Structure 1
């Protein structure tokens, strides 16, 4: 049965058709302030509702497939444009909180000299302030040209956008990313967040990571917060922001706006 399920997963041809036929959509997971416990931003996450399989395809399957096939560049450009349109739409519907940021993941293949020009073009077309944007660069990605990655990130920063180091604690060289990428925030991977209540060693690691991030003048975001105990722990340790199922999974744009409006009304 497991073998049949694996065989049924869509391949490259289905991915190409999905891009052509518009089967992808964006969802948004709220990010909340540890100080106010109110929504302070969102992470844009891609979803694929496959016509072929008649079900959602896990990003754990289609993202590596897109990377391997090269379609990740086209898919990444589509997600960028979608995020810009969404920010503009939300701004028209209701005032966004001061300091609100929309985080969007960048594939390593997107980190080319052409990316800053594409971002600048979208900002002009959609009339979006770069301060609303946070580009996430995964720390688990090992680039062939670290200097190019750092240069592209620096150009995005000079444009006024924010840079986050994503999946922190899972990659190949933590120090190299901290030294070379002009990041404004660090997202601590959910694998660390989930263990801090049960494991004292992981709790100490988290506390020291948060302190180091603060000492470097960056903000911290803890991913994968699922319990009130985890939330209390990271708040006590001095984390800046958090996201996770304790508040909400990734939701549609309409549902996110409803959550934003509801939490704003509770002030």
Structure 2
């Protein structure tokens, strides 16, 4: 893999994962450090691209708004189960929290029995975190498998120190394709940066469309380009220049 060519705001549409791409992975998901320089640079990119910038994340859009305030941006949250088509637009959801009520109860019981696991309830998705206890990877996978037993129409994703379940039929690739069908993204060349297994759906879609797919980190990927880490992403975006 090679490093990607420079971003061209005149012809590219930019899609960015959040955790592990824009911000470092930390033990406490609520304590992610985001610098003013990063927010400022993303705001400049949004202006330079006439709004063709979207954050595509497993997080809820409300959480992204909190971390990136006062930036106004298009977003896909919870792997596309939430979507804001344009800055300032309404957040739309294609699933209901009630769809996961039975799974939620089973996971809560399992986490109570193993307190080193953490359950994050996103409403339309449930996430088991074991970042502070990596030895529980198999236990987390087993607990999730048991929780979704006899349930149809659900998708289980294994990410970086997490196992997540949400209603099937949506992933980051579907979310990117939906953005590319509408202004201001339509007619531009898609660019996607992501580090996690869940980003592979979007990286594949971008490769198929002849865009610029960029894997962040060392894991195998369908992407043809790579950046080493969050710091390399910031340099590629021009964050360092923006902070001077």
TM-score range, shorter chain: 0.3 to 0.5
Question: Higher relative contact order at CA 8 Å, sep ≥6: structure 1 or structure 2?
Answer: 2
Q: Normalization by structure 2: what TM-score?
A: 0.34
